[in-house]
Structure 1
Amino acid sequence: MCKLMNNLSCPRCHSHNLYRFGKDKAGKQKYQCRNCKRQFTLEDCSGKKKSLLRGYPRCPVCGYGMYLHHDYEYYSHYTCNSKKCAHSVYVAKPNNIQSASCELIKGKMDFKRMRFPLFLILSALNLYYLNGSSTRRISQFFKVTYNIKVSHVTIASWCKKFAPIFLSIANRLTKNLDLGTSDEWHADETVVFINGEKHYLWLIIDSETRMVLGFNLTASRDASQAFALFKSASKFGCPSAIVTDRLDSYNLAAKTIFNNSKHIKVQSFKDDISNNLIEAFNDTFKDWYKLKRGFKSFESANTLIAMFIFHYNFLRPHYSLNNLTPAQVAGILVDEKAMNNWLLSA
């Protein structure tokens, strides 16, 4: 039975003959006047505007207003007011999404005050990340070739401490890079071990340039980690399609961050579109990773992976790209002389 509200009055006819009439789109209690049939809320009586409804998006299908269906930590779900349309829109909350691990690199920002010359340091890095040599073998190589004694511990520190330099170079070169015209971006995760514990390396790669757009090293595979990965890659644009496996963590992240992209979930190897491209990168990474016999800490693993991906994107020629690097295919026209200038300027 409807309860009579004697302590309120209708804003139109000022009648006290009222009863409850459900709730509005913002969840506020509505009332209806029995005399003039006016529907209103307490905010209408006080003269205040419905501030909660401000800034809501318009329906991209029919142009109607939308209401907040659900509000979650990383995104908001809006639904069209038109019952005939009922289209849904997912809007991300960038400030609430955590940063991917690829954005949390710390270390030395220049090559100054180093005991050994720059060419020796760069040679050690190339041997470590491109050729897969161990630090002990690199130390032996320097002793035999240049008659320079460098401890393998020193070389191991070089491989980690200069990561911010290469990260700043990558950010500067890809500042205006737009890969939104690409047909597909592929995302996947692979297992790595840190101090004997299982962790997951999330990766996203462009199908046309073979460039790794971002990574996220985590201890779990929940949806928040997929949000962080896609947020870090969204600075390069929005592709036509996102290709992933059937992991549920990708669903809401792809629908929210890349709401204009088609989400393709690979079902089997017989599908027309497969995830073999990023699986091939995983094999390349695992060939390098196995020589390390696991990582000792999360910070060192995150740093070493970032350095490996930099060498993969900017310095390693690819047979499938006519012996060009992904950076060159993406339109960052660089040659060997320019690569040397990157590091000398650092």
Structure 2
Amino acid sequence: RRKRVQQLRAFSKWKWHVDEVFVKVNGKRHYLWRAVDHEGEVLEAVVTKRRNKAAALKFLRKLMKRHGCAEEIVTDRFASYKAALRDLGALEKQQTGRWLNNRVENSHLPFRRLERAMQRFRRMRSLQKFAFVHSSVYNHFNQERSLASRDTYKLTRTAALAEWRELGAG
């Protein structure tokens, strides 16, 4: 698994899609910042109380510390991204466009489904833990069905399930 993750990280520097989503924690609005690579793999998820330049900087620094610097960073037109990327010296790597960020917008959907099933969150820490665990499980089983033949898809899905069972048994 470690080898597979290292291979994924080697290619995750090409293009990142970054977005934030509103999440209610105990009745108060919090923000879940998420980064997804060009293949839909969730790279990072950070929960903050505010949606400003400082929060965007915190998120982008954590992302870059773990994964290096991307060649392109696709964002929406939220001004805090521009300000944070200017501080990091990566403003020329930012891309904004009307439908460019659909990759990360669609990656919010499985998270929202599970959030609804859990009947919301009570604490910010539990939201952060859930987002972290959900993204690693999602990455493990997400096989990009549209890009592979049926036989290849079945093989990779079976391998992922066997690896998951092995991890659960140990």
- Name the TM-score, length of structure 2 as normaliser: 0.79
Task: Give ranges in structure 2 of 5+ residues lacking alignment.
Answer: none
Distance across 2 between alignment mates of 1:252 and 1:311: 32
Whether 1:287 and 2:117 are equivalent positions in the alignment is no
| Equivalent pairs, count | 162
Q: What residue number does 2:52 align with?
A: 222
Spell out the pairing of 1:287-326 with structure 2 (5 A cutoff): 287-322=113-148
Residues 1:319 and 1:213: Cα distance change in structure 2 (over 3 Å): same
Distance across 2 between alignment mates of 1:292 and 1:339: 22
Distance across 1 between alignment mates of 2:87 and 2:166: 40
Residues 1:211 and 1:261: Cα distance change in structure 2 (over 3 Å): farther
Residues 1:229 and 1:174: Cα distance change in structure 2 (over 3 Å): farther
Q: What residue number does 1:210 align with?
A: 40
Distance across 1 between alignment mates of 2:164 and 2:89: 33
Deviation of the 1:261 alpha carbon: 5.5
Q: Deviation above 6 Å: which 4+ runs of structure 1?
A: none
Q: Choose between structure 1 and 2 for higher RCO, CA contacts under 8 A separated by at least 6 residues.
A: 2
Spell out the pairing of 1:1-346 with structure 2 (5 A cutoff): 174-175=5-6, 177-179=9-11, 181-182=13-14, 184-207=15-38, 209-234=39-64, 235-257=66-88, 259=90, 262-266=93-97, 268-269=98-99, 274-322=100-148, 335-345=160-170
Whether the 8 Å contact between 2:12 and 2:37 is mirrored in structure 1 is no
Q: What residue number does 1:56 align with?
A: none
Higher helix share: 2
User: Cα deviations across residues 143-195 of structure 1 (Å, max 9, x unaligned)?
Assistant: xxxxxxxxxxxxxxxxxxxxxxxxxx88x86356223552x211001111000
Give the AA of the match of 1:189. Answer: E
The answer to which of 229-238 and 186-195 deviates more is 229-238
SS at match of 1:192: strand
Deviation of the 1:224 alpha carbon: 1.7
Whether the 8 Å contact between 2:56 and 2:81 is mirrored in structure 1 is yes
SS at match of 2:63: helix
Deviation of the 1:260 alpha carbon: 8.0
Distance across 2 between alignment mates of 1:341 and 1:261: 44
Residues 1:173 and 1:229: Cα distance change in structure 2 (over 3 Å): farther
Deviation of the 1:338 alpha carbon: 3.2
Task: Give ranges in structure 1 of 5+ residues lacking alignment.
Answer: 1-168, 329-333
User: Cα deviations across residues 215-239 of structure 1 (Å, max 9, x unaligned)?
Assistant: 1111111112112222222232322
Whether the 8 Å contact between 1:216 and 1:225 is mirrored in structure 2 is no
Deviation of the 1:279 alpha carbon: 0.9
Give the AA of the match of 2:40. Answer: R
Residues 1:180 and 1:287: Cα distance change in structure 2 (over 3 Å): closer
Distance across 1 between alignment mates of 2:76 and 2:68: 21
Distance across 1 between alignment mates of 2:146 and 2:112: 19
Whether the 8 Å contact between 2:23 and 2:30 is mirrored in structure 1 is yes
Q: CA RMSD in A?
A: 2.8
Distance across 2 between alignment mates of 1:320 and 1:255: 36
Deviation of the 1:198 alpha carbon: 0.6
Give the AA of the match of 1:275. Answer: N
Give the AA of the match of 1:212. Answer: V
Give the % identical residues: 23
- Name the TM-score, length of structure 1 as normaliser: 0.42
